[in-house]
Amino acid sequence: MDMKQNDIIQKTAEYIKQEFSNDSSGHDWWHIYRVWKNALAINEHEKADSFIVQIAALLHDLDDWKFNNNEDETPLRAKLWLDSCSVDISIADKVCEIIKNVSYKGAGVKNKMDSLEGFIVQDADRLDAIGAIGIARAFAYGGYKNRMLYDPESTPEMHQTFTAYKNSQSDTIKHFHEKLLLLKDMMNTPTAKRIAAHRHALMEDFLDQFMKEWEGQDW
Ligand code: ADP
Ligand code: NI
């Protein structure tokens, strides 16, 4: 990575830190920061293009459908930012393609990611959705969306379309079954698969204990 690219990464980190400073949905700057660092750590093993991996990690949630009305479209804010930094059009296109495909869109919806850089950023993002931090973020997001912690009278759904997933009003425990517990088998890289295994085990222990307490079986 040359000097200029390094400057662009630093400048982008500052921009994103500002943009995400006030979030309380689990998508604050420190989520982006962890994804950036996770992506770098995975890339130590995968040896993909470090500039593309880093810039895509930093910009990955800027146009997220959960906060913008532009699902599945070109990520406009990221594109504008890349243009303003004079990033080569061919690189900017690759970054936008990654951002467009990074999000989870339902248990039965096919992953369209198709580059090594994209696989790495997607794994880094997914690692931050599981384990102890994943549990914390899930309940933060649930609160932000006025969701119940757990509704014993409803059952999880394996969404076959993005629309069904997006419109779901699940309680947060259901979200574990509809997404978080599925992520370990959806990791793209061997490095992320390895880290995901123990984060996954922790979520299973948490859910076991949650259900025991719910039923008063831990007395
Ligand atoms: P993705 O783009 O794959 O959704 P994000 O980085 O935007 O990934 O983060 C998703 C986060 O939002 C996860 O931590 C997840 O737990 C949380 N989240 C998304 N939908 C729900 C939901 N219905 N209930 C609880 N948490 C959710
Ligand atoms: Ni994210």
Nearest residue by C-alpha to atom 17 in ligand 1: 138
What pTM does this model have?
Answer: 0.95
The rounded distance, in Å, linking the Cα atoms of 5 and 97 is 19
The rounded distance, in Å, linking the Cα atoms of 205 and 112 is 32
Ligand nearest to the CA of 58: 2
**Confidence check: pLDDT of 72 > 60:** no
Q: What are phi and psi for residue 55, nearest 5 degrees?
A: -70, -35
The pLDDT of 24-29, averaged and rounded, is 93
- Ligand 1 centroid, distance to 219 Cα (angstroms): 33
The rounded distance, in Å, linking the Cα atoms of 114 and 132 is 29
The pLDDT of 189-208, averaged and rounded, is 98
Which ligand 1 atom is nearest residue 180's CA?
A: 16
The pLDDT of 111-138, averaged and rounded, is 98
Please, what are the domains in the chain?
Answer: 3-214 (1.10.3210.50)
Ligand nearest to the CA of 150: 1
Exposed/middle/buried for 39, CB within 10 Å: 0-12, 13-18, 19+? buried
pLDDT averaged over the chain?
95
Residue 70: its pLDDT value, please? 65
Cβ 33 vs Cβ 45: under 8 Å: no
Task: Give the confidence band of 3 by pLDDT, cuts at 50, 70, 90.
Answer: confident
